[in-house]
Amino acid sequence: MVVLVTGGARSGKSTFAERYASRLGSGGIYIATAQVYEEEMRTRVRRHLERRERSDFDWETVEEPYHLCDALNASDHPIILVDCLTLWLSNWLLFYEKEADPESRVLLKVEELIRTLSERPGTILLVTNEVGDGIVPEYKLGRQFRDLAGVMNQRIARISEQVILVTAGIPIELKSREFKLDDGNG
């Protein structure tokens, strides 16, 4: 089962996803996609790690900023939490930034991830960010990231059994509430 957990910055997505995982079993794999380049990010990563260490859930942390599909395939654990997809996407966009057509290269990574998610057994919780609700980024790279994140989130939501929006720490399941337009064939 694929569960997409989305929301804005500091909305409670990660905390919710960790609590959700703890309802499914006694332990799991936590795949962290962040790359730590400065003290502020180091502090955030440390807070996340300390929160997991205080929980009753037995987390095994795997740090993988790029090769997410390999990390998913390397584990046979039935509960995996990936935090976060937008950092993973950002890693790849920056990797390909100077090459021709970076958007297409990143979308190939997204499609590879979708194939992996579709084939993998167990429960995979994916934390991502809603980045398109704010102002239009001033710079091209920011607009590319915003657009790619939106496309990625839509495509992964399509294959997810549940899509949960977390706002102000309140999770709301969206997929079951999806409005279906009548396509005229019914």
Binding residues: 7-14, 32-34, 63, 83
| Catalytic choice (17, 22, 31, 48) | 48
Residues 6+ apart with CB under 8 A from 151: 107, 110
Place of tokens 């995996």: 80
d(CA 84, CA 33): 6
Where would I find the beta strands (DSSP E) of 79-169?
A: 79-83, 123-127, 162-167
User: Is 48 noted as a catalytic residue in this protein?
Assistant: yes
Q: Which residues carry a binding-site annotation for GTP?
A: 7-14, 32-34, 63, 83
* Interatomic CA distance for residues 138 and 47, integer angstroms: 31
Annotated catalytic residues are 48
